[in-house]
Structure 1
C-alpha cells in the first residue's frame, strides 16, 4: 500500500508499505479514502511535535475511510461502511472517556499523524470504538472534514460557548477551515455573524459564505466594527483561534457577560489580559481543544442536513506537500482535502 511518510522536518515521501495484518479483537481495518489538512499537519511537517515521536511517520490527522474487515467482537460496524476515524488515541477506560469527554482522556497516547501513524496511508487497523459512521448523502471529501474541523467547531460553539439562535458572533479567520465551518453553523441557527479576514479576495468570499459583516483586519479594527454594528453593546460570542494578534481586540469586542472560546494561537501563544476588564465586565473565557466522538457524529449529522464544509481544493495524494505549503502560506479559503 502507499503511505505518505514524514522522514524528517519538511521531508515528505510517498512510500510503499506492507498491508497491515487482519484486524484484532475490537478492531476494524480501514481503506482510507481521503484526508483533510489542518494546521496540526503544518506543525508536524515543521517538526513542532510536542512529544517524542518516531520517524518515519505516516501523516494525516483527519480523514475518512471504508471498513474492509472487522475483528472479533465488533458488531456495530460492517465491511463496506464509510467511517470517520477519531484521531485521538484515547484509552477508553478513564473517567472522562467513560463519560463521553474523549478529548479530556487522562491516558491519551497521542494524536494520529502527529505523534503516531496517521491516516495518509492505504490501510490501517484501529479500535472500532474510535470510528463514527458516515450518514448517507455525505460525500467522502466532505466527511473527511468531520474528525477535526466540524467536530472542533461543534464543541467550541455549542458545548463551550453555548451559542444561541439570534445571538451575534465574531468569527476570526472566517476563511480558514474551522472559521468557515463556524460561519455556516452559526448562520444555520439564525445568528448574526461578523467575520474577519486578511485579504480583500477573502472578504468577498466571506460575504458569499453568509457573513453579515466582514472586516479586513489589515485595514480596520475589528473590535471597533463589532461594537459599532451592535450599537456599542458588543458581541455575545467571540470564536477565537488566532491568538496574540487578536486577543485584546477580541476581549474589547465582547458585551457585558460575553463569552470567548479559543482553540488556537497561530499568531503567538502569549497575550496580555486586562484582568480588571475581565472581572468588571464578567467575561467568560473558555479554552477548547479538539472534540468528542459525539461532536464528530453531530458534525456529520449537520453535513447530512446540508451544512457542508467549504472545500478550497481537492488534491491527489502525490500533491499533499503542495497542499501543506498553501495552508502554511494562508492562500486558501476553506479546506484542502487530499484523496487516496
Structure 2
C-alpha cells in the first residue's frame, strides 16, 4: 500500500509498504481518508524531533478515516464507522489515562508522525479506544482536524483557561490552524475576541470569522491596542502559542487575575518573566500540551453544530512538499488538509 515517508531531513517519498496485520484484541483497521498538516509536521520535516526516531518514518500526526475491520472484543465501533484518531499511543492503564487525562499518560509510547509511524498511509491498525466516532453531518476533511486542531483548542480554552461567555480573549496568530479554531470556538460560547494577524488580508479573513477586533502586529503594538480596546482593563484570557516574540506583550495584555494559556513556542523557547508582575497582578499561567480524548469528542460535537475548522487548502499526497512549504512560509490561513484517495 502507498505511504508517505520521511527518508531524511526535508526529503519525503511516496513508498510502497506492507499492509497492516489483521487487528488484534481491542484493535481496529482504518482506511485513512484525510490527514491535516501541523507545525509538528514542519518540525519533523526539518529534523527537529524531540526524541530519537528511526527513518524512514511515515508522516502525519492528525487524521480521520473509516473502520474497515475490527478485532476481537471491539463492540463500540463497527465496519463503515468514520472516526477521528487520537495521535498518541497512550497506555490506557495509568492514573492519568483512567481519569481521562490521556495527554498526561505516564507511559506514552510516542506520537504518530513524529516518533512513531504516522497516518499518511492507506491503512493502519490502532486501538479502538483511541478512535472517536465522527457525526454523520461532519465531512472527512473537517474530521481530520479534530485531534490536534480542535482538540488542542478545546483543552486550552475550556479545560485550562475555563473561558466563559461574556469574557474577553486575545487570540495570538489568529490566522493559524489553531488560531482560527480558537476564534470560532470562543465566539461560539459568547466571548469577545481580539486577535492578531500578520497582514491586512488575514485581518479581513479574521473579521469574517467573527473576531470583534483584529490587530496587524506588523504595523501596531498589539499590547497597546489591547489596553486601549479594553479601556486599560486588559483581557481575561490570552491564547498564546507563538513564543518569545509575543510573550511579554501577552502578559501585559492581561487583566488583573487574568489567565494565559500556551501550547507553542514557534518564535523561540526562552522568555523572561517579571515575578513581581506575576504575583502582584495574580496572573494564572497554564502550559497546555495536546488534548485528552474527550476533547476530540467535544470538538466533533462543535463541528456538528456548525463550528467548522477553517480549511486553507486541500492537497493530494503528491503535493505534500508544497503544503509543508506553504505552512512553513506562514502564508496559510487556517488548515492544510491532505486527502489520501
* TM-score over 0.5 for the pair: yes
Q: C-alpha displacement at 1:321, in angstroms?
A: 1.2
**In the alignment, what sits opposite 1:261?**
261
Hey, which bits of structure 1, 4+ residues long, moved more than 3 A?
Answer: none
Q: C-alpha displacement at 1:292, in angstroms?
A: 0.3
Question: Match of 1:33, SS?
Answer: strand
Q: C-alpha displacement at 1:20, in angstroms?
A: 1.1
Q: C-alpha displacement at 1:19, in angstroms?
A: 1.2
**In the alignment, what sits opposite 1:20?**
20
Distance, in Å, in 2 between the alignment partners of 1:194 and 1:285 is: 19
Distance, in Å, in 1 between the alignment partners of 2:81 and 2:317 is: 22
Q: C-alpha displacement at 1:258, in angstroms?
A: 0.3
**In the alignment, what sits opposite 1:112?**
112
Q: Deviations over 1:28-66 (max 9, x none)?
A: 000000000000000000001111111101000000010
**In the alignment, what sits opposite 2:314?**
314
TM-score, normalization by structure 1: 0.99
**In the alignment, what sits opposite 2:180?**
180
Q: C-alpha displacement at 1:324, in angstroms?
A: 0.5
Q: How does 1:13-162 map to 2 (within 5 A)?
A: 13-162=13-162
Q: Do residues 214 (structure 1) and 208 (structure 2) align?
A: no
Distance, in Å, in 1 between the alignment partners of 2:55 and 2:81 is: 31
Q: How does 1:288-307 map to 2 (within 5 A)?
A: 288-307=288-307
**In the alignment, what sits opposite 2:2?**
2
Q: C-alpha displacement at 1:17, in angstroms?
A: 1.2
Q: C-alpha displacement at 1:21, in angstroms?
A: 1.5
Q: C-alpha displacement at 1:5, in angstroms?
A: 0.3
Q: C-alpha displacement at 1:268, in angstroms?
A: 0.2
Q: C-alpha displacement at 1:320, in angstroms?
A: 1.1
Distance, in Å, in 2 between the alignment partners of 1:255 and 1:221 is: 17
Q: How does 1:195-234 map to 2 (within 5 A)?
A: 195-234=195-234
**In the alignment, what sits opposite 2:247?**
247
Q: Deviations over 1:260-309 (max 9, x none)?
A: 00000000000110111000000000000000000000000000000000
Q: Deviations over 1:112-150 (max 9, x none)?
A: 000000000000101111100101100000000001000
Q: Deviations over 1:96-123 (max 9, x none)?
A: 0011000000010110000000000000
Question: Match of 1:314, SS?
Answer: strand
Q: Deviations over 1:213-239 (max 9, x none)?
A: 111111111111111111110000000
Question: Match of 2:225, SS?
Answer: helix
Q: C-alpha displacement at 1:16, in angstroms?
A: 1.0
Question: Match of 2:14, SS?
Answer: strand
Q: C-alpha displacement at 1:332, in angstroms?
A: 0.5
Question: Match of 2:18, SS?
Answer: coil
Count of residue pairs brought into register by the alignment: 340
Distance, in Å, in 2 between the alignment partners of 1:315 and 1:72 is: 36
Distance, in Å, in 2 between the alignment partners of 1:25 and 1:191 is: 44
